[in-house]
Amino acid sequence: MDKHKTTRDMKRRLFLLACGLFCMVFTMAQPRPNEVQPMEQREQSDACINYVESRQRSNGVQPMEQREQSDACINYVESRQRSNGIQPMEQREQSDACINYVESRQRSNGIQPMEQREQSDACINYVESRQRSNGIQPLLKTHIETGDVEGILEGTDLAVYKAIPYAAPPVGDLRWKAPQPAKPWTGVLKAEDVAKWPPQPEKSYVKYDMMSEDCLYLSVVTPAKSVDEALPVMVFIHGGGFQTEHYGGDLWQSLARKGVVAVSIEYRAGSLGFLAHGDLAKESPEGHSGNYGILDQIFALQWIQRNIKNFGGDPSKVTIFGESAGAMSCHVLCASPLAKGLFRACISQSGAFISPMSAINQAQAQMIGLMFMSELNKKSIKEMRQMDAKELTGNGVNFHGCTPIVDGYVIPEPIYNLYEKGEYNDVPVLIMHNSDEGAVDYDSVSTEEYNRQFSMFPGEWADSLKAYYPGTTDEERLYSMRDFIRDISFGWSAYKWATMQKKTGKSPVYSAYLAQKSERTVYAKGNRRGAAHADDMLYLKGAFDEEPGKYPQEKKVSDLMQQYWVNFAKTGGNPNGEGLPSWSVFEEGKATVMQFNNGASLIEVPNKERIMLIDRFMKYIINLQSSN
């Protein structure tokens, strides 16, 4: 038998025993709230192992060479540390004290393990004090108003809390009521998995068993290493036509890595989020019904004000941002007095709620609710509360009220009117829409479809619209219809929000236009000429980071957008920063709209002539409404 090999094996076993005794010392410590969490990723523990081994080799001590042995030790140490809230040695200057002690004992005692508790305790106390003062890892465990919560480590720099309840489950008697506080829990809530989707129609990627009416959760992604960092906070509101989708589509790690706390919130959708009915109004202390999804968003923002400090965020530095219906929600929050003071800036991506054709009032919404109850063959709200959520939101359900309601409470008046009078939450805004928004709606347009779409407008307006959006060929009809959808649904509302706030507000307004063409898209159809609806999500979440060589221009735009967005959040309203093309505050008639296309450059309002035609038509509608 090889004498040297036997000696090495004995040294390894004794060193593993030393590790085990070291673990026993850690278990004696009491949990320490808000401390930094242990190494959970193998690439992190490897660095520590390698350093220990190099120190041991340099001092004549045989290191652990079998990774399966060291893994067992490290995993045991980490599991015991996690259960007791104590941190591992990660930084060299902190681990030197313990390593030196181990080595001195080993040299003098032939790899004699640490047996003197008083000596190892002193070492542990030193490490812990250094770790507390330096904050090695992000906050993987913290305390909020309802109890302790623990996230997971992503990479080496982010703590991710995937599902934290911010309100009580809106089930039973709480269905169609304003959100209520979440109940406290005992022990530690493990926020390791995203919550289920809110009830909605089934799709290929979401089935009914993935849904739950218990859906009022939010995620938090933080790079903070202590609760005192006071980082800016970005709160995302997802789209889906106020009927579909999920907060877990992206948790915005890409933005968090640039120095913000990223939050994504869920809210009730479909009939569960927006059903209005006279009997529900009677139940409400404020005398309104509907808008439960918007009340959820406001409740989540209030929760953030009370709790985000415990994740290293600053409640006075909240920026809301959203896409599609999420962007419309952001606009509603900018207009609602109930959201006053809950955020300091807003970013809208492909959505606003200013069109006179999109707003319905409380009476109209309650009429839709009565019709819905009749279609379901129910006679009371009590009966409807006993129905399965699938029967109220699933495939084939015919509810036409999936929209915010001008109820005199959440939305006091039509938002167009509020902006005319300057009665809104005047915060800095960044408003963007995309160049090929309509590419998600049409793959081809027949002559009959083209004529049918424009026949819905009064005669003179139909003729004018056809002149600006011609349809003499198949290709012309396709592109004209896509452009019309872009301009009337997104371009005009973005333009109107910007110009009206410039006129009646004091906060800065920034305007943007995403025109980058790419092979990649979220769900648009073929023959695209630019960025389709929802494609902005690809750029903001860094979807091109893995293949920069294949998508060099997309990667460039993605980097620019992310940095502008984060700068806007960090400063409370200014996207500019070192190394970025200068972005001017919006001013009509000047090149102040930032176009993202193979980089970033300023242009005037895109598609201006068509936007002005639609603006004249919207004023015509407003005049009709005011005369009735």
521-558: pLDDT as tens digits: 999 999 999 999 999 999 999 999 999 999 999 999 99
Catalytic pick among 329, 437, 489, 493: 437
Structure tokens at 155: 């990479």
Furthest-apart CA atoms within the chain: distance in Å: 104
- pLDDT-wise least confident of 54-58, 282-286, 521-525: 54-58
Question: Which has more confidence, 327 or 54?
Answer: 327
- Please state, in angstroms and rounded to a whole number, the distance separating the CA atoms of residues 232 and 567: 10
Q: Give 358's pLDDT tier (boundaries 50, 70, 90).
A: confident
| Start-to-end Cα distance in the chain | 103
Helix axes 608-627, 459-468, angle to 10 degrees: 170
Q: What is the DSSP letter of 574?
A: -
pLDDT of residue 107: 57
Give the pair of three-digit tokens for residue 189: 């809530």
Burial class (CB in 10 A: 0-12, 13-18, 19+), 343: buried
Pull the structure tokens for residue 102: 């181990």
d(CA 545, CA 84): 38
What single string gives the DSSP state of each residue in 131-176?
HHHH--S---EEEETTEEEE-EEETTTEEEEEEEE-S----GGGTT
Would you tell me the crossing angle of helices 92-109 and 117-134 to the nearest 10 degrees?
170
559 pLDDT exceeds 80?
A: yes
CA dist., res. 180 & res. 545, Å (int)? 40
The residue written with tokens 């190099």 in the block is: 54
CATH topology for 151-427 is Rossmann fold (3.40.50)
pLDDT given for residue 459 in this prediction: 85
Q: DSSP alpha helices (H): ranges in 110-162?
A: 117-134
For the chain, percent of residues with pLDDT exceeding 70: 78
Averaged pLDDT, 322-349: 98
Strand 405-406 relative to strand 360-361, pairing:
parallel
CA distance 443 to 449: 12
Give the per-residue pLDDT at 110.
54
Helix, strand, or coil here: 447? Answer: helix
Handedness of CA 362, 365, 371, 377 (dihedral sign): negative
Q: What is the pLDDT of residue 91?
A: 39
Residue 286's pLDDT is: 92
pLDDT at residue 17, as a whole number: 37
Q: Among this protein's residues, is 578 annotated catalytic?
A: no
- Minimal CA–CA distance to 315: which of 229, 257, 255? 229
Query: Who has greater pLDDT, 87 or 562?
Result: 562
Do residues 20 and 72 lie in contact, with contact meaning Cβ atoms separated by under 8 Å?
Answer: no
**Active-site entry in 95, 120, 264, 324:** 324
29-47 residue pLDDT tens: 333 333 333 333 434 444 4
Dihedral (CA of 18, 19, 24, 30) sign: positive
Report the C-alpha gap between 120 and 126 in whole angstroms.
10
Q: Which phi and psi angles does 511 have, rounded to 5°?
A: -120, 145
Cβ atoms 496, 503 nearer than 8 A: no
| Nearest CA among 336, 557, 312, 311 for reference residue 320 | 336
Q: For residue 418, is pLDDT > 70?
A: yes
- Six-digit token pair at 405? 């309601």
Residue 12 has pLDDT above 50, yes or no: no
> CA-CA distance, 202 to 211, in Å (whole number)?
9
Q: What is the four-CA torsion angle of 168, 173, 178, 184, rounded to 10 degrees?
A: -20
Tokens 């320490």 belong to 32
Q: How distant is the alpha carbon of residue 203 from its chain centre?
A: 22
pLDDT at 21: 33
Q: What does the chain come to in residues?
A: 628
CA distances from 355 to 32, 351, 358, 467, 621 (A): 53, 11, 6, 22, 10
Average of per-residue pLDDT across 91-118: 49
Q: What is the mean pLDDT of residues 578-586?
A: 98
- How high does pLDDT run on average in the chain? 85
CB atoms within 10 A of CB 43: 9
In this structure, what token pair is assigned to residue 151? 């996230």
Q: Rounded mean pLDDT of 157-175?
A: 98
* Range list of β-strands (E), 403-496: 405-406, 429-434
Residues 18, 166: Cα–Cα separation, whole Å: 45
Asked if 324 is an active-site residue, the reply is yes
On the question of pLDDT at 20 being above 50, the answer is no
Give yes or no for residue 588 having a pLDDT over 60. yes
Mean pLDDT across the stretch 574-583? 98
Contact predicate 23/113, CB 8 Å: no
> Nearest 10 degrees: CA dihedral of 408, 412, 415, 421?
140
90 three-class SS: coil
Whether the Cβ atoms of residue 242 and residue 269 lie closer than 8 Å to each other: yes
Backbone angles phi and psi of 484, in degrees to 5: -65, -45
154 in Cβ contact with 183 (< 8 Å): no
pLDDT on residue 92? 39
The confidence score (pLDDT) of residue 625 equals: 86
Distance CA 288, CA 413 (A): 14
The region of weakest confidence among 3-7, 80-84, 184-188 is 3-7
Residue-level pLDDT at 340: 98
Angle 55-61-67 from CA coordinates, rounded to 5°: 75
Position with higher pLDDT, 60 vs 134:
134
Rounded to whole angstroms, how far apart are CA atoms 450 and 181?
50
Per-residue pLDDT tens digits for 245-277: 999 999 999 999 999 999 999 999 999 999 999
Distance CA 326, CA 346 (A): 11
Numbered ranges of CATH 3.40.50.1820 in the chain = 151-427
